[in-house]
Structure 1
Amino acid sequence: MGSTVDVENATCSNSIGSVKLAAYWQDLDFDPDNNAFYYVRVIEVPKPRWTTIDAAGVVTLTVVWLCMSGIGRR
């Protein structure tokens, strides 16, 4: 999978991948009397890490909301 992260500006564009991906799967051999384990792997479109956003000095709506709500004040 590619990445649209602009590290220098701590931004990204959601221009790759599908908007929605859905599937249905049924285990035809499922037996409720036996233990079962299923493994699912999900790949997410890359976004800038919080450390990159912090280093770039980008103020996001989340940061503004946290400041205004008093959450995170010492």
Structure 2
Amino acid sequence: MSEEEKLSFEQAMKDLEEIVEKLEEGDVPLEAAIVYFQKGMGLSKICHDKLQQVEKQMEQILEEDGEMKPFVLEEDGGEA
């Protein structure tokens, strides 16, 4: 497992936010901006993968009788 894969979701998001802030400042040399961008894309993938993993875990929950059933997220259908 690589060092980046060992990052927690929260740490990966924090690192990604720091990169975005640096790039938004606009005074980063082009070569450094490319390196930041590449690292940011890697962190984005880590966050995405971790979210997908959690989503898969949430798709199934235990019923009282021990059987697995799909987890369905009910969205609020009411209109404001």
**TM-score grouping bracket, smaller chain normalisation:** 0.3 to 0.5
Length-normalised TM-score, structure 2: 0.31
Greater Cα radius of gyration, structure 1 or 2: 1
Length-normalised TM-score, structure 1: 0.32
Highest RCO, 1 vs 2 (Cα 8 Å, sep ≥ 6): 1
